[in-house]
Amino acid sequence: MAMITKSTELLKAQENGLPVVALESTIITHGMPFPQNLETARMVEDDIRAAGAVPATMAVIDGTLHAGLEPDQLEALAQARDVDKVSRADMAVCMSLGRTGATTVAATMIAARLAGISVFATGGIGGVHRGAEDTFDISADLAELGQTAVTVVAAGAKAILDVPKTLEVLETYGVPVIAYGQPDMPAFWSRHSDLPAPLSMSSAQDIAKAHRMRAALGLPGGQLVANPVPEEDEIPAAQINPIIAQALAEATEQGITAKQVTPFLLQRIFELTEGRSLVTNIALVRNNARLAAEIAHHLV
Ligand code: PSU
């Protein structure tokens, strides 16, 4: 049973020892509306190619786990309805039932490990949801970072979350959280938060070195690189925070739970900012892809 099917581009890249960056697909199916999701997915892949690396977008298609999608597969996935949101818990079931599923950060890390890829770029990881003391809603992304050796480049945890609690859980799991080029944690749509980052580094080479050092020490788990959104694209915290608060209040009122919470909040914030949150989201993913490509260069 072939566990994972690699794209032609990925097979060739690995044969030739080129740097590779993994990409997720939940952001395409559940994180952004069509057609911006497809345009973004293509742009992000092209950003990685322009930086001299090779992209590999992960997804389960009709039961097969793919590392790297062919252009027609990417296009079909971006428009498909009824796609599962697949994390560690449901990946095997989705595959064994022959279903189609988009991979979250957790599932993409698993796929990257299987495909021999060490670096992965996304928008923002999942984390501890606000009110988790009652709901226990904590993304499986955090436990995955604690056990799978992939360096994940994100603009921090999504600002809809309880970021201080997210940092606490990552600390418990032994995950290095490294802010890139600044001392404080970025806050997804905003460059800055009032939270100091546990660690800070200013070069892709140092991040790659730390990745290797963890492996040499025999430590399981990955690293989270928190890369601030470019200044010209950010929505300052003072502007986005009241909107996040409104979206969260509506989610509670409407009884939105579990896997629906994140997609609901992203969609509501998109509506309340009249599309500006999406422009920022696209810019930060592209920015993360470029940094991930740079790190990947230092890991081949
Ligand atoms: N980054 C984005 N948009 C997204 C995500 C990341 O810019 O939609 C997805 C990732 O797949 C991540 C998921 O794993 O959101 C988190 O979902 P949850 O909070 O349900 O674990």
For residue 224, how many other CB atoms are within 10 A of its CB? 28
Which of 185-189, 247-251, 256-260 is predicted least confidently? 256-260
The Cα–Cα gap between 64 and 22 comes to: 17
Do 33 and 157 have their domain in common? Answer: no
Domain hosting 260: range is: 126-299
Number of compact structural domains in the chain: 2
Nearest to 191 by CA among 179, 203, 201: 179
Q: What angle do CA 49, 101, 255 make, to 5 degrees?
A: 115
pLDDT, tens digit, 9 for 90 and up, residues 101-125: 999 999 999 999 999 999 999 999 9
Do 64 and 150 have their domain in common? Answer: no
Ligand 1 pocket mutation pick from 262, 282, 285, 286 by most atoms within 8 angstroms of CB: 262
Do 83 and 152 have their domain in common? Answer: no
Core vs surface per residue 64-86: b (16+ CB within 10 A) or e: ebbbbbeeeebeebbeeeebbbb
Q: Work out the pLDDT band at 236, boundaries 50, 70, 90.
A: very high
Instruction: Please tell me if the CB atom of residue 26 comes closer than 6 angstroms to any atom of ligand 1.
Output: yes
Nearest to 3 by CA among 110, 80, 109: 110
Tell me what the mean pLDDT of segment 17-24 comes to: 98
Is there a contact between 120 and 153 (Cβ–Cβ < 8 Å)?
Answer: yes
Which of 1-5, 170-174, 211-215, 256-260 is predicted least confidently? 1-5
- DSSP for 23-68 reads E-SHIIIIIS-TTHHHHHHHHHHHHHHHTT-EEEEEEEETTEEEES
How far does the centroid of ligand 1 lie from the alpha carbon of residue 154, in Å?
Answer: 11
Percent of the chain with pLDDT over 90: 97
Q: Which atom of ligand 1 is nearest to the CA of 129?
A: 19
pLDDT, tens digit, 9 for 90 and up, residues 131-152: 999 999 999 999 999 999 999 9
Q: Which of 117, 143, 161 is the last residue of a domain?
A: 117
How far does the centroid of ligand 1 lie from the alpha carbon of residue 85, in Å?
Answer: 10
pLDDT at 1 over 80: no
Which amino acid does the sequence have at 126? G
pLDDT value of residue 10: 98
pLDDT, tens digit, 9 for 90 and up, residues 31-57: 999 999 999 999 999 999 999 999 999
The Cα–Cα gap between 238 and 273 comes to: 13
Helices 71-79 + 36-50 axis angle, to 10: 150
pLDDT value of residue 3: 82
What is the interface pTM, i.e. ipTM, of the complex?
0.93
Do 223 and 106 have their domain in common? Answer: no
Tell me what the mean pLDDT of segment 270-290 comes to: 97
Instruction: Please tell me if the CB atom of residue 24 comes closer than 6 angstroms to any atom of ligand 1.
Output: yes
The enclosing domain of 81 has a CATH number of 3.40.1790.10
